[in-house]
Amino acid sequence: MTTPLLNRLRRQWREKRPTFGAIATIPSIQTVQIMARSGIDWIIVDLEHGPIDLGSAHAMITATAGTPCVPMVRIAANEPWLAKAPMDIGALGINFPMICSRADAEKAVRSVRYPPKGDRLWGPFHAPFRWGVSMPDYMATADDDMICMITIEHVEAVNRIDEIMATPGIDLAVIGPGDLATSINKRGLPDDPEVVALMKRAEEGILKSGVPIGGVARSAEQANEMIDRGYLALALGFDWSLFQRGIAASFAGIKR
């Protein structure tokens, strides 16, 4: 009997169903529990910019248990050793930042797959406990369960988008407007015409490749427009930004 996959995101993207998530930067079990039970499809635990250590990340990944929410982790650099522990503690996807060439993309792909497909080292001691499966069952689907998510967030990546997206094994390509703007000295200006033009080129390259595309939606209107253009993974915000928006909405209409 074939072991069923643990990760439902692949099926949703294959069926062209958009998925929605958030990025967790606060080292908090409670925050993740709330987000995971609020209807989102995935959470990215942010080890790149958030003050989160591996112990906290493990607890946050575990906090998604009992929900359909798929935990993934963003690492600080495209290095196999940084991807290894998050996978072994239960993450079902790794978000690799600053992918700027095919060589970068190939390195990322090989980091999340066991030999002969890749270079992932064996040692998933805690992942099977998170998913309620035996070690053999975890290993049977590990390569297919793990999402290799790359981020296109530099002008050089846009210039090489076709060669990057021709790399076999990429499961999701997301566009990062913040660093993309910063790479052309437009930091803090994601709506600048030059940044928007770069994002459009990146978007066209990803969509042409057939790899699922992801990005950031700052409003329902923007999310719907992106879905109409083919986006299948939309981050609705960071934990801190969602809190800010919720508090601002609570104040709306109150005399102060």
> What pLDDT score does 3 carry?
87
- How far apart are alpha carbons 212 and 16 in whole angstroms? 9
Single pTM value for the model: 0.96
- 3-state DSSP of 40-54: CCEEEEECCCCCCCH
Domain residue ranges in the chain: 9-147+215-247
Write down the pLDDT at residue 166.
Answer: 98
- H helix intervals, the chain: 9-14, 29-36, 54-62, 80-88, 102-111, 127-131, 135-145, 155-159, 161-165, 177-183, 193-209, 220-228, 239-251
Encoded amino acid at 127, one letter: A
Look at residue 252 in the predicted model and tell me its pLDDT: 93
186-224 pLDDT per residue, tens = 999 999 999 999 999 999 999 999 999 999 998 999 999
User: What is the spatial distance between Cα 39 and Cα 217, in angstroms, rounded to a whole number?
Assistant: 16
Instruction: Flag residues of the chain having pLDDT under 70.
Output: 1
pLDDT at 138: 98
**pLDDT at position 1, please?**
61
CA dist., res. 92 & res. 187, Å (int) = 31
* Homologous superfamily in CATH for domain 9-147+215-247: Phosphoenolpyruvate-binding domains (3.20.20.60)
Active site residues: 49
**What is the predicted pLDDT for the residue at 256?**
83
